[in-house]
Every structure is written in structure tokens, then in C-alpha cells.
Structure 1
């Protein structure tokens, strides 16, 4: 496996080594992979900037923007659940408060809505709502220590990680906080080396892979940073082949899959790219393109298939009810 740059909690040596290794990693071969796309039953509402989670059998979708009139958007509160076996959507519950660009995770019979932007605004929130599926009840958890939206979240070893995002003053942060359901407390971990927003994270093989996104200098970050919980450190992985932000990511078997995205410079466009990253081999493969280019989407894997849901077909405020399924070949 190619060597990776190790970050000593943001130290100059790790950052310098990361820059040194960026060129050889960027030149690594991107192999072609195969898979089959199919359009499934659409989401009941056309949304963008959504968040999805799965219990391994069903897919849950929450938050985002919903078009209101010709120009305005609202923050819909209906939380939907999708059954891939029946290819059917239904309303499950209502969010206590509207949110967009939020973290959203499933763990042990509960759904967690983590921070995001409040209602239909771009005001970061520290709200943390927990829904017990069996009892059909919400409770307000301890506030997220750093209010932010467009963050990345993942569940690893029973704890919920909240990484990066945009906080007050439109400041991008690399802050990394973790919630322990057993203690009902948040704590601080080593910060992500690259502050960014509109990125995604996926837990795989005991680590968290954080991909793509944007910052003050570009909408097309190729950054791939990997968190090791055993010694609370980050390292750099092979860069994303196609830099973009507003992406979706999920893990399936030995791979982390990355879909879609947008940019505004040098042109305003959305992406149909589907790529996957093998953590142990530190390499990327390119999959057949998504049927519909879009951003503000999200994805979840169930029973060997990946469902890529909602998002805007045009950069900026755009909406869709799309539900496209990829079955990748081995």
C-alpha cells in the first residue's frame, strides 16, 4: 500500500509531508469498475441538501430544502422511510424542527439529527434531536458543542462523530466532536487537518474516511483524510479523482463510494461521477456515471445495493425526487 502522510494534530511537519506526497498520489492510476444503475420509486417530495441513514434494512431521509413557490424554499419536517424490498416510501414521523445540511445517523434503534442549518436559513445550529423508532418519541439530546452546518458525520464503534462544517461567520472548521450514547455526552477529538464543508464521511474497517468538499479557495477539494480512533490521529489517503462538493458517500463491503457534487468555478455545473475508494489498498476506481448529475444528495447501502437519493440537477438551488440504485460488480 502506498505510504500516507501522518498528521500530528495539525503540526507543520505532517502538513508539509502531506503536500510533498500529494503529487505522486494524484498520479496514481484510477481503474475502471462496472455496475448497473436503475431508477427506483421516487421520493414523495423533491428535495435538496438532504440527509439519509440506514439500519441495514431500511433507508431514512430527513431535512433539506423543499421548493415553495417559484423562488423560495422551506425546511420540510416529514421524515421518510424507504423499504428497498418493496420499493416503497412512507412518512415515519415529523422532525421537531426544520433543518438542512444536517448530520443524520442510525444507531441501535435510534435516529440522530446532528446540527445543520436552522429551518430554511444558513444559520448554524447546535440542536441535537434523537428519535426512538420503537416508541415513536423524540428527545432533545445534549447540544452539539460547535454549532455548524454542512458537516460530515459517521458512526464508529457505537459513537457518533461530527466532523468539520461551517459555523458562525461562515467560518470553515476542522473541529471533530464525538457523542457517546452510553454517557449521553459529547467530547473533543483530534481536529480534521483540512477545515471544509459540503464533504462526506464513511466508517469502514475501524476508521473514518472523509472525502471531497469545499473551502475558501475552491469548490473542488480532492482531499481524502482518514481518522484512526485507536491513537486519535489523521492521515492522508489517495486524493479523490474528481474534486467536487455537495457529494454523497457510503460504505459497502471493502469500499467507500462517492457520488455527484457541484462546483461554481470555473463553470457552474453538477457532477454525475461515481467513484469508489479501497482503504486497505489506498486506491480509487471509477464506476459507470450516475443516470442524473446532481448535488445535495445522499446515499445509503442496503443488501449489496446503493441508493442515491434526491439532490439538485443544477448547481445551487435545484430539487429532485430521484432515487437511483447502483448494484456494483465485485
Structure 2
């Protein structure tokens, strides 16, 4: 097996980037990662963490915050441009090496409003732009997004900030033609969740039905709904997410598995640290080592045999916002 290893002074953080990946072994543990020069990302939550090429990007969050850019080769953070508008509660997708944001919220809790247009970030130029107008009758935030065959699928979400009007909607957007199509509704509504495609199926995992002010955190959704992108039909996996939670984030790893990380619930103050993994072939769950720091409202990256998380919020709600980053070897 050929390895690409970082400079020797960072080996204390367990960072050896492997060209080969497989299933994670039970002995793997999360380890902290710090920048070589002491630089840090901008603290944020209800935001996103994505990889484009050889760099990682933290985007959005409450308030208007500049992009934080991590270079794993130099192990340093730098700043990018601020977005044109406050963007939070969204799951980004990467298409043609640009970040597309659809189904986001803007404004203050609890009555945040859905953004009316697609927002695009181009890392090559460090520029933000507005894309197509989202059909007025299909706007919502806290939706789940994924790309399949050059089209972007937008699932569920919430219309009225954190107060209600939860959606079962499924839409598909074609960024090449700027056209929208409505697809069959999901079996159940949810917000504060994420979606991911494995093979030709779209998986909706976790989330809740927010209902401020009295029931924001507790109406959790454990069922995993699956949309067959070839057949155009919905089904539901028999085994529920073992730890029901919202504000979680997903990654796909080898052997058709979906990693579920972090989140928040009403029954504990600390954000969740659990890592639970769905074997999509068997429809069953595995428990892997928990993160060092529980967090919600961010994302996860798979890069050269490792799973990487950064930022987010350490408690239920909005504080403390984190600067930390962790890495997990997929052996």
C-alpha cells in the first residue's frame, strides 16, 4: 500500500493520508488535528464543510461569515470572501467544482425565511454569485440535497423558520437548463437532516420536525426513507437510526456505507458525538468510535482514506461555536 504522509512534526496527530481505503476497523479512534501555523477557521454552526479538489471549505452559518479554507498540504487555514447574504441551515452540494446552495434559510430565530435563489460559490475565483430563482411555491430551508447524474435533488425541509410548515417535497433541479421538476413526496416530513446518494438511491437520514417555541428539539425522526432514482419510488428501511437526532451530518465511505455523525436532541445539553454507520446493502447499523467533541450543524469530508470533521456547535442550540477539527482513519 502506498502512503502519502504529512511532515514528521504532525505525525503526533495521526495524519498519514492513505491512497487505499476500506472498511473502518473497530480499533480506529478519532484524533485532534491542528494547523501547522496555529491558524484556525472562523467559528460557525448551521453551516457546511465540503471538499473541492485538494482543499476543504467551511461556508455559511448564522451571521455573514467569510469562507474558511483549509489546505491539507500546508496544514493551514486562510480566509475567503463573505457570501452576499446570511446563509444557514443548508446542505451544500458540489457540482462542476462549485458549491451550490439550495434550500437554505436566512434571518433570525425562530422565523427565518427560505432563500429565493440558488447561491453559488466558486473556489477557483473565491467569488459568490446568485443562480436561478427557486420556484416560489417550493421554497424552504433545512432541506437535504444530493447530486445524481448532473442533477440536484432537494428533499423535505421547513417553510417557516423553526416554527413549522414541514415539507415532504422532493424536487430536482437541472443546473444546465435552470429547470425544476416536482417528484413524488417523501413518506414523511423532516428538517435538520441530510441526504446522500449511494448507487442509484437517495437516502434521507435523521432530522426532526421543529416547532418553536415549545417543541423545537424533541419530534425526532428515526426512519430512513429511500428514493429509487431509477424507479421513481419511495421505500423505508426497517431498522431505524439507533440514536435519533437532528443537526447531524453524513458521509459515504467504501462498501456502500453511510456514516452518520453528531447532532442535537432535547434530552441532553451536549451535542452528540456518536458515529453510527448504515450498511445500505444489508439495511443494518454498526456503531463506530465516537468523535472526541460532540458537534452539530456542520459537515464531514472523506479525503485519502480519512474522515474529517470541523467546526459546528458543541451544545444543543447555538453555542459554543467550535474551531476544532478531528480526523478518523478509514482502514
TM-score, reference length from structure 2? 0.81
Query: Counterpart in 2 of 1:242?
Result: 243
Segment of structure 1 superposing worse, 245-254 or 161-170: 161-170
Distance of 1:292 and 1:76 partners within structure 2: 25
Asked if structure 1 preserves the Cα contact closer than 8 Å seen for 2:226 and 2:234, the reply is yes
TM-aligned CA deviation for residue 136 of structure 1: 4.4
Distance of 1:186 and 1:59 partners within structure 2: 29
Specify which of 50, 55, 58 is matched with residue 55 of structure 2: 58
Asked if structure 2 preserves the Cα contact closer than 8 Å seen for 1:97 and 1:119, the reply is no
Query: Counterpart in 2 of 1:104?
Result: 92
1:49 aligns with 2:52: no
Q: 1:139 to 1:314 in 2, by over 3 A?
A: closer
Q: What aligned pairs does 1:153-302 form with structure 2 within 5 A after superposition? A: 153-168=145-160, 170-215=164-209, 218-237=218-237, 238-253=239-254, 254-265=256-267, 267-302=268-303
Distance of 2:53 and 2:260 partners within structure 1: 19
TM-aligned CA deviation for residue 182 of structure 1: 1.7
Query: Counterpart in 1 of 2:8?
Result: none
TM-aligned CA deviation for residue 130 of structure 1: 1.9
Asked if structure 2 preserves the Cα contact closer than 8 Å seen for 1:32 and 1:285, the reply is no
TM-aligned CA deviation for residue 113 of structure 1: 1.8
Question: Any gaps of 5 or more consecutive residues in structure 2?
Answer: 1-23
Q: 1:153 to 1:281 in 2, by over 3 A?
A: same
Distance of 1:163 and 1:188 partners within structure 2: 10
Distance of 1:111 and 1:160 partners within structure 2: 12
Segment of structure 1 superposing worse, 117-126 or 302-311: 117-126
Query: Counterpart in 2 of 1:316?
Result: 317
Distance of 1:215 and 1:103 partners within structure 2: 17
RMSD: 2.2
Distance of 2:60 and 2:316 partners within structure 1: 19
Asked if structure 2 preserves the Cα contact closer than 8 Å seen for 1:219 and 1:245, the reply is no
Asked if structure 1 preserves the Cα contact closer than 8 Å seen for 2:91 and 2:101, the reply is yes
**Number of residue pairs aligned between Structure 1 and Structure 2:** 289
TM-aligned CA deviation for residue 143 of structure 1: 2.1
Question: Any gaps of 5 or more consecutive residues in structure 1?
Answer: 1-30, 66-74
TM-aligned CA deviation for residue 124 of structure 1: 2.2
What's the secondary structure of 2:94's corresponding residue? strand
Asked if structure 2 preserves the Cα contact closer than 8 Å seen for 1:62 and 1:104, the reply is no
Query: Counterpart in 1 of 2:144?
Result: 152
Q: 1:101 to 1:154 in 2, by over 3 A?
A: same
CA offset digits 1:69-118 (Å, max 9, x no partner): xxxxxx12312222233322222332121111123111112211223111
Q: Which has the higher strand share?
A: 1
TM-aligned CA deviation for residue 32 of structure 1: 8.7
Q: What aligned pairs does 1:9-88 form with structure 2 within 5 A after superposition? A: 33-41=26-34, 43-55=40-52, 57-65=54-62, 75-88=63-76
TM-aligned CA deviation for residue 198 of structure 1: 0.6
